A and B are shown apart, each in its own frame.
Chain A
Amino acid sequence: MTKCRNRELMDFLKNKKFINGGLHVLYSICDSAKNALNSLGGAQMKHVGTVLGSAIAGIFVMSVWGAFAGAYGIGGGWVAGLVIIGTMWHLNHYVGVHNNEGSWVDMALGIGVCGMARGMFENGIQAGVDSLPTLGIVIVGGIAGGIMAVQMEKVSAERQAEADKAA
């Protein structure tokens, strides 16, 4: 139990047994929470960071962005991209709240899942099932884009290597 500096306040409160008991409960809850978080340690805390960073990014993207677009049209949508993704990128990937130790998991995954999940929480599982054709094509198209980007990187690297050899 933390020391209370204000002796007079504590004496006053101790006279009311109910409040005293409540304070005890509150202190022990806070202590347990503090101990639990400390004991999680670095190994798990980084994964909590991923969950938080993804959730926060998803929340902003799937609510504020649409509001911008609704209020200011397509230009509002562009500005929303700048403001929201700029900030969320800084949080998740620049500062590094989103853990990335292996293959790159972009905050975009959490954002996409957030949008789809919200639809399913609001409208039921069928809403998600109905959206599967779009999801399937989007994922296949995305993978194709990623693979081609790597091929372009290889072309660039070869070009660079030849330039270095010629130099």
Chain B
Amino acid sequence: MTLPLAISTFAGAFIFPFLIRLLWGKFVEDWGPIGGWMAAGMIVGTTWCLNHGVGMMHQTGAAWIDMAFAAAAGLFAASCLGGDCLKKGTVDATFAIIGGILGGFILSTLA
């Protein structure tokens, strides 16, 4: 991980939760559940193209670090700043991590 690559990785990681936080709610507010589909395509699809397609997010190891980590960290931080409860969030986060590990294990059975 050289400094230039770190800068592009940081930028890609910055952009994803920035877009989600500011746009997703508006999409759903304006278009209802269809807004969720729009957001998935426009925000996540396009940002995937940036981070993983074009490659802004530089991988250093064999274990895949998805831009999803950026979204998770950024949205959690934004939510805490906005005044939501950290303690209950940590409980939910723990179960989400367990779910992730379960999913990762199931996928590893394919290898």
Q: Using a CB–CB distance below 8 Å, which chain A residues touch chain B? A: 47, 50-59, 61-63, 65, 69, 74, 77-86, 89-90, 93-94, 98-123, 126-135, 137-150, 152-153
Contacts and interface: CB of A to CB of B under 8 A. Distances in A.
A139 B66 CA distance: 11
10 contacts: A47-B91, A51-B98, A62-B103, A78-B46, A109-B69, A111-B66, A142-B16, A142-B70, A146-B75, A152-B22
A114 B61 contact: no
Nearest to A104: B79
A98 B57 CA distance: 27
A138 B97 contact: no
Among B13, B21, B52, B61, chain A packs the most CB atoms within 10 A around the CB of B61
B22 to A, nearest CB: 5
Contact of B72 (A109, A149, A153): A109
A52 B99 contact: yes
B53 A77 contact: yes
Nearest to B14: A145
A92 B107 CA distance: 20
B97 A137 contact: no
Task: Determine chain B's interface SS by DSSP, over half rule.
Answer: helix
Nearest to B72: A109
Contacts of B20: 106
A111 B68 contact: yes
A126 to B, nearest CB: 8
A10 to B, nearest CB: 38
Interface of B: 1, 6, 9-18, 20-22, 33, 36-37, 39-41, 44-46, 48-49, 52-54, 57-82, 84-93, 95-108, 110-111
Contacts of A114: 99-101, 103-104, 107
B104 A58 contact: yes
Given A111-B100, A133-B60, A94 B76 contact: no
A121 B92 contact: no
Contacts of B9: 134, 137-138, 141
B13 A137 contact: yes
A138 B57 contact: yes
Contact of B40 (A85, A113, A145): A85
Nearest to B51: A138
Given A62-B107, A111-B68, A144-B14, A153 B95 contact: no
A148 to B, nearest CB: 6
